[in-house]
Amino acid sequence: MGETDSWEKNLQETVLRESILNWYEFHRDADLLEICSGPSVLTELFRRRVRSVTTVVLQEKEPEASGDPDRLHRLEEAEDRRYDYIVCLEQAEREPDPVSFVGRLKRLLRPGGILLLGADNRYGLKYFCGCGEKYSGIPYLGINGYPGEFPGSAGKGRLWSRSEWQAILQKAGFEKSRFFYPVPDSRMPQMIYTDEYTDATNAAERLVDYDYEDPGMAVIEHRIFRDVIASGSLSFMANSFLMEITADGSLSDIDYVVVTTDRGPERGMATTIRNNGQVMKRPLWEQGEAHLRALAGYTEELASSGVPVIPVELQEDPAGIFLRMPCVPYESLSPVLTRLAGSDRARFEKIFDRIYECIRLSFRPSGPESGRVYLDLAPCNCFLVPGSGEEEESLLFYDQEFVTENGTPGFAMFRTLKYFFASSPQAARSVSLSDMYLRYGITPEQQKDYETQEEAFIRSVRHSDRFRWVFSAAVPDYRQLYERACRMKAEKRKPYRIGYVPGVFDLFHTGHLRLIERCKDRCDHLIVGVLTDELVEFYKGKPPVVSCEDRMNVIRGLKACDEVIPVDFSNTDKLDAWEQLHYDCHFSGDDHVGHWNDVWQELKKRGSNMEFFSYTKGISSTAIKEKAGLNRQQE
């Protein structure tokens, strides 16, 4: 099994996939229908959250391959009931008629029921960065609007934009919908955004992305997410959608979510910002209740030490225990410091001095050199409160989850500086991280010791050994991305997107190879048509020497060939072939120049073209047969 196959297998089986819905507040006494195309790690999540779960596995194969004319026939198993929730991720985009499919799901909902529909976006940011389209693997295919319904993805699925999904839902009869935007995408989201929330601080500081092994990727996606979100463009460029849909029910009041599923049952949390101005923090598993209570205690201890911190209130509702805190109207500290690094060095350093003062205030020594130290007193967990009148601006910390009982203020400050500068390359261009370490007495020798401590802490908190396959893919190979971009610059843009060249290709020889290579030089995707044995005998009065299947296998092995199809009586006519393939250019030998002028004119009306190449002199299948005596044998 290759690395890519292993990654995909881990992706399908990892508990991190729960992040798409483990934050959603399902009613405990609900009946839920899950629709998927194979074993789902989400099934266990739903069983923890609702009264009953019915799972329907749809036909995975294409109908033509399976012999089943309707991949939805298993949905009939669920149609004798009605459900409070229907969860259907990445299935509607595989349907040729999504309106009919979504309408069918609507009929399975109880009054007030909710449909949670997941789909990828053809205008997703990763696709603009060069990632191959989901079903064909061809870069920019969805962005280009699937011109001519490119055959590479036919029968597998296609992606739709947000406005297209809105139209689909309306046609299916749904009155109300809300779009959530999982970041980086729906496979393993760490954040869930909505149109109502555009603070991109977390996307810049916490995002773990993982698509950089895609051979088409030439842009560092996570560096763009912040600007996309802050500019309000995420509704257009989100990689994935999670749609909350109802005909007559109530929609969620959640505007934003941060999930930390990778921290495991004891520490995994969902932090939600609501449209009523409140922030709620819930454990993702029951085992996390103890950590939530500890967090409430840490907040009280920090406040008693003189550290400015947002107060929290421990509460409980039918969904379980949670922390409630107000959503304050202040700017996050990280972007402020990023701006100050290049414009006001003195103020920049003064704010970090205040952070260090808070770290020292919160320190609880338990030995001569170490003790309890808070590790989240950092810009990413802090707001800057503007001063009023003669009052100076001040800091306000929140979400202080983590402490170590054997640390030092120096270690906490090391972490604070390390992660701020890692998430803000703009600041690093103006201020030296080494200088900032020395400002707080952190020597190079201490930095090495602290780095070792930090690696051990991260392994314990984020289960980095267990999820190494994710984190390793999250580090871009910058040299490789740069080389991909250089190749794109160097490559000559080809005049055609899809090219088509049909032929017999019997007794494959150098002339055939040169023809196919010349065709490939003129198009991005070359389809080679191979005439069937019956068609060859019909035109030439005798069968080919090599069978159609073997001739197709030879062509299929050529680097210059992207796709091979059989040519029979249904598509031997060039216009019939165009109706099936929507090619941009039909290639042929120059012995047909002038014979196909009428067809050529018809193709031009369809936006297609014809080009003719000269044959390689001195070689042909006929000459080879004559030399070998094969023509005489057939006669």
> pLDDT grade, residue 197 (50/70/90)?
very high
pLDDT over threshold 90, residue 174? yes
> pLDDT grade, residue 67 (50/70/90)?
very low
Q: How far apart are CA 45 and CA 58, in angstroms?
A: 20
pLDDT over threshold 50, residue 625? yes
Q: Which residues contact 628 (CB under 8 A, 6 or more apart)?
A: none
Q: How far apart are CA 160 and CA 489, in angstroms?
A: 29
> pLDDT grade, residue 318 (50/70/90)?
confident
Looking at every residue in the chain, the average pLDDT score rounds to 88
Is residue 37 within 8 Å of residue 57, measured between CB atoms? yes
Which member of 9, 350, 542, 604 is catalytic? 542
pLDDT over threshold 60, residue 285? yes
Q: How far apart are CA 314 and CA 292, in angstroms?
A: 9
Chain segment 420-452, per-residue pLDDT in tens: 998 888 899 999 999 999 999 999 999 999 999
* pLDDT value of position 469: 77
Rounded average pLDDT over 546-559: 94
* pLDDT value of position 369: 81
Question: Taken in order 121, 125, 128, 133, is the CA torsion positive or negative?
Answer: negative
Instruction: Tell me the pTM.
Output: 0.75
Chain segment 32-63, per-residue pLDDT in tens: 999 998 888 999 999 999 999 999 998 765 44
Q: How far apart are CA 279 and CA 290, in angstroms?
A: 19
DSSP type of residue 218: -
Chain segment 492-523, per-residue pLDDT in tens: 678 898 999 999 998 899 889 999 999 999 99
* pLDDT value of position 52: 96
Which member of 540, 559, 574, 604 is catalytic? 540
Q: Please give the angle made by the CA atoms of 256, 258 and 263, to the nearest 5 degrees.
A: 165
Q: How far apart are CA 631 and CA 20, in angstroms?
A: 65
* pLDDT value of position 618: 57
Look up 542 and say whether it is catalytic.
yes
Q: How far apart are CA 567 and CA 559, in angstroms?
A: 21
Residue 151 tokens read as 């055959």
